[in-house]
A = this chain, B = another copy of it.
Amino acid sequence: MKWVFDMSSSTKQDILDAAEVLFAEHGFGDTSLRAITTKANVNLAAVNYHFGSKKQLIQDVLKRYLDVMMPEVDKQISVLMSNSSTPSMHQAFSVLVEPLLLLNRERPQGTSIFVRLLGRGYSESQGHLRKYIMHHWGDVLGRFVHVIKLADPELAPSELFWRLHFAIGTFVFTMASSKALSDISAADYQQQVDIEGIIHRLIPYISAGTAAPVAASVSTIKTTPTLDIA
């Protein structure tokens, strides 16, 4: 009998390490167990022995990151709230910076891998991932949403819902193309940009987007006068 949380076996760790890289690169559906076990130098059957199924392996890969990141998010929220009861939108989203960089310290490319996995899970798992996160980390996410609401109390809940997912999309796509984008940035603008640099470019964009005025109506472009950000 094998315990779920027994991490003494290096085989299990090796599988997780290999799987997360391949999942982030090619997606869940296009990453075979054979590719994972080959990269991990492990027998094919080991995945089903240790994880039961491919589906469970995917969930365990994400679980490992969430267990590191979410407590740090909780901590950063506490730090922010102890300093200010009326945070700016920029401050609100900045509580995510340290938790994201923590993943990068945990393992190479950790931030990029996690965010890409998050994106894959959102668009490929029929909402299963969202339910898992809400069940296990719903309270922390609730605190985060609360901070965002403090930063812009005028924002309607439904509008906030959409904009937070816009923010996720910005993150996911940017991380998925981070290497290509960094290369172009270096070649065309002589600007070396690492993960930390990308995150600090993302925060102002996401903050301003989330705090943007809501469109007045669903009418045509011509009628809308210049509504700009102050």
Contacts and interface: CB of A to CB of B under 8 A. Distances in A.
Interface in A121-176: 122-124, 126-127, 130, 157-159, 161-163, 165-166, 168-174, 176
A202 interface: yes
A229 interface: yes
Interface stretch (A8-16, A32-40, A57-65, A83-91): A83-91
A209 B185 CA distance: 19
A27 B222 contact: no
B213 A204 contact: yes
Nearest to A208: B212
Contact of A227 (B94, B127, B168, B185): B94
B221 A97 contact: yes
Interface residues of A, number: 78
A130 B181 CA distance: 11
Given A80-B225, A205-B210, A208-B213, 14 more contacts: A29-B30, A76-B225, A90-B224, A91-B224, A94-B225, A158-B191, A162-B185, A168-B173, A169-B171, A169-B176, A200-B218, A203-B215, A204-B209, A212-B229
Interface of A: 27, 29-30, 76, 79-80, 83-84, 88-91, 94-95, 97-98, 101, 119, 122-124, 126-127, 130, 157-159, 161-163, 165-166, 168-174, 176-177, 180-181, 183-185, 188-189, 191, 196-198, 200-215, 218, 221-222, 224-230
